[in-house]
Amino acid sequence: MSDNPIPTWHGTTILNVRKDNEVVMIGDGQVSLGDTVIKGSAQKVRRIGGGKVVAGFAGATADAFTLFERLEAKLEQYPNQLTRACVELAKDWRTDRYLRKLEAMMLVSDKDVSLVLTGTGDVLEPDDGVVAIGSGGNYALAAARALVGQKDVPAEDVARKAMEIAADICVYTNSNFTIEKV
């Protein structure tokens, strides 16, 4: 139990599914403060990089917006090089005194690659194209991995069903989804 009497923000599940040349990123809309739902319709998944990249965040909202802006700048500096832009952002995030204090994680995808970015300098690409972050991320990830191998089930259906399962299990995840496709 924390000594901090101030409740902490919770709530986010972001899932990325890459299947059959389709990429789908889906996020729930719930934001909680302690055990209270503050908002049910937050949009945590959006397009950046001229619409070629989809990105989702988990963590503090203001911190995530700062990271979106920084990633947009890196994408302008390294056009059509998502991995390079993410590595450069991760370097800044890890070494810059201000950025080091940001409490957020990001999932980003374009037509070629899906990546997880963390404040510890990690830029990770999943082996199977399925990755999730946030409080319900492990639930969504497990469900998506179970569903992704089914033939004739498109990526969007896998993502939606996996998020529904996560929303049924995780109290910090709801069924108000934002979906973006590449």
What is the chain's alpha carbon radius of gyration, rounded to the nearest angstrom?
16
- Alpha carbon distance 169, 13 (integer Å): 12
- Alpha carbon distance 123, 74 (integer Å): 14
Catalytic one among 8, 12, 83, 120?
A: 12
The total of other beta-carbon atoms located within 10 Å of residue 69's CB is 11
Q: Which residues of 77-102 are buried (b: 16+ CB within 10 A; e: fewer)?
A: ebeebbeebbbbbbebbeeeeebeeb
Look up 12 and say whether it is catalytic.
yes
The strands making up 36-39's β-sheet, listed across from edge to edge, are 9-10, 31-33, 36-39
Q: For every residue of 28-89, which 3-state class applies, written as one string?
A: CCCEEECCEEEECCCCCEEEECCCCEEEEEEECHHHHHHHHHHHHHHHHHCCCCHHHHHHHH
- The set of catalytic residues is 12
